[in-house]
Structure 1
Amino acid sequence: MGLKGKLTAQIEMIAGGDVFHELLSNSPHQIPSISPNTIHGCDLHEGEWGTVGSVYFWKFTHDGKQKVAKDIVEAIDKEKRSLTFNVIEGDLIELYKVFKISFHVETHDDIDLVTWILDYEKLKDDIEELLTFLGLVINPSKDTI
């Protein structure tokens, strides 16, 4: 088993990937009202909403437990409809040396597909893979549909 990993999930968006990209890029603090069973809060700690270098503080439920994560907006590409967060503090950093969450929107035959990618490096080899966390990050996508 390796310490580095990457998990990917893709979901079809009927409401439109542009809408979801705009929401997550510029108004992530509205995600808790869309997906309240999963995401409980998103606060701005530094910078401005929707700008690279801004720091967000998330409250969420994972595997039935309340957790938190602080991340930096590492990249936003409006043209490619992509966004990358680098987690720097919180419950995830207790288990992972590196933890990045990114997504992008692709359009194929008039269907928008949102692709989520988790890039991580475990601190120890015996830490479980992030399959349930991948489900957590796609929930707001499904709730927006």
Structure 2
Amino acid sequence: MDLVVNKIKSQGDIFHELFGQKPHHVANITPDKIHACDVHEGHFGKPGSIICWDYTFEGKKCVVKELVEEIDEEKQYMKFKVIEGDLLEEFKSLNIILHVIPNGETTIVKWIAEFERFAVDGPYPTKIMDFAIGITKDVEAHHLNEQ
């Protein structure tokens, strides 16, 4: 399991709402990283839904489909299971967890990658976590500029 923790100055509610209820707005905030987010089955913000992301990762145009496994509004916790796409070329399985924790004047944003490698010496998802940090910083900057 890889874990990345960011402290941001934006309100956690905004961050949680963006990824939980309105992920299609992420492309407007991080157009150099995320290009589109569409719902393929179900509805944004609902467990059991399938969403598809178009993004650029390490200079390559990529696609990923995720199953929304869990969204807990009270705990500001979301879990997504990668079910199709470029990320599964490197990992046998991959779940992304996003947990937003209010912390006084700041907010803690935890990104967790649960993964299974194809081989014991296979890669860790450190580049994916770096990508998540970049998105977190873009979202924070966007919301700070709006205030």
| Cα offset, 1:55, TM superposition | 0.2
The letter for the 2-side match of 1:58 is: W
Question: What CA distance in whole angstroms lies between the structure 1 residues aligned with 2:30 and 2:134?
Answer: 7
Alignment match of 1:134 (pick from 119, 125, 129): 129
The letter for the 1-side match of 2:44 is: W
| Cα offset, 1:42, TM superposition | 0.7
Residue 8 of structure 2 is matched in structure 1 by 13
Residues 102 and 118 of structure 1 are in contact (CA less than 8 Å); yes or no, is this contact kept in structure 2? yes
| Cα offset, 1:110, TM superposition | 3.3
Instruction: Say which structure, 1 or 2, has more relative contact order (CA 8 Å, 6+ apart).
Output: 1
Q: TM-score, normalised by structure 1?
A: 0.91
Q: Per the alignment, in what secondary structure is the counterpart of residue 112 of structure 1? A: strand
Alignment match of 2:108 (pick from 108, 113, 129): 113
Aligned residues: CA RMSD: 1.2
More helix by share: 2
Residue 40 of structure 1 is matched in structure 2 by 35
| Cα offset, 1:14, TM superposition | 1.1
Residues 90 and 118 of structure 2 are in contact (CA less than 8 Å); yes or no, is this contact kept in structure 1? yes
Residues 95 and 124 of structure 1 are in contact (CA less than 8 Å); yes or no, is this contact kept in structure 2? no
CA-to-aligned-CA distance 1:88-131 (integer Å, 9 cap, x gap): 00111122121000111112333211110011001123432211
Q: TM-score, normalised by structure 2?
A: 0.90
Question: What CA distance in whole angstroms lies between the structure 2 residues aligned with 1:141 and 1:62?
Answer: 15
Q: Does 1:31 align with 2:51?
A: no
CA-to-aligned-CA distance 1:44-67 (integer Å, 9 cap, x gap): 100011000000011111121111
Q: Per the alignment, in what secondary structure is the counterpart of residue 79 of structure 1? A: coil
The letter for the 2-side match of 1:105 is: V
**Structure 2 residue runs without a partner (length 5+):** 141-147
Residue 59 of structure 1 is matched in structure 2 by 54
Question: What CA distance in whole angstroms lies between the structure 2 residues aligned with 1:43 and 1:134?
Answer: 22
Residues 40 and 59 of structure 1 are in contact (CA less than 8 Å); yes or no, is this contact kept in structure 2? yes
Residue 83 of structure 2 is matched in structure 1 by 88
Residue 49 of structure 1 is matched in structure 2 by 44
